[in-house]
Amino acid sequence: MNGRFVRVAEQGRKSFDILIDGKRTSALEGDTLMVALLTAQDTLRDSEFGDGRRAGFCVMGACQDCWVWTAKGERVRACTTPAVEGMSIVTRLELATEGVWPRV
């Protein structure tokens, strides 16, 4: 994987699978979605305003740069939402089904 984040000395945390844009990847117990996503890939999400990919900014829920969507269409902040086994996250507009991503 070519993630922006690299795990250096992880030990003892349970791993589990999540789906990112339909692709299976691993997260660790206690990871936020931002950590899980940026460990698996180099960007967090597409901008809904058409200016390319985003990678988050403040890491505390204030800047609004880390919104991602669940496959069911729920909008969540990746920096403050815990990763949960079996989650399915959408980060790319072209992969989103109708009703999952805001159309502007």
What does the domain layout of the chain look like in residue ranges?
15-93
**Threshold 0.85, pTM exceeds:** no
For the chain of 104 residues, list the mean pLDDT of each consecutive stretch of 10.
72 91 93 91 79 73 82 88 95 69 54
Q: What was the pLDDT predicted at 102? A: 58
Q: What was the pLDDT predicted at 20? A: 93
- Supply 76's token pair: 């969540």
CATH of domain 15-93: 3.10.20.440
Q: What was the pLDDT predicted at 36? A: 92
Question: Do the bridges between strand 67-70 and strand 75-77 make them parallel or antiparallel, or are there none, so unpaired?
Answer: antiparallel
Question: Do the bridges between strand 45-46 and strand 75-77 make them parallel or antiparallel, or are there none, so unpaired?
Answer: unpaired
For 6-71, give the DSSP string: ---S--SPPEEEEEETTEEEEEETT-BHHHHHHHHSS--EE-TTSS-EE--SSSSSSS---EEEET
Phi then psi dihedrals of residue 90, to 5 deg: -110, 125
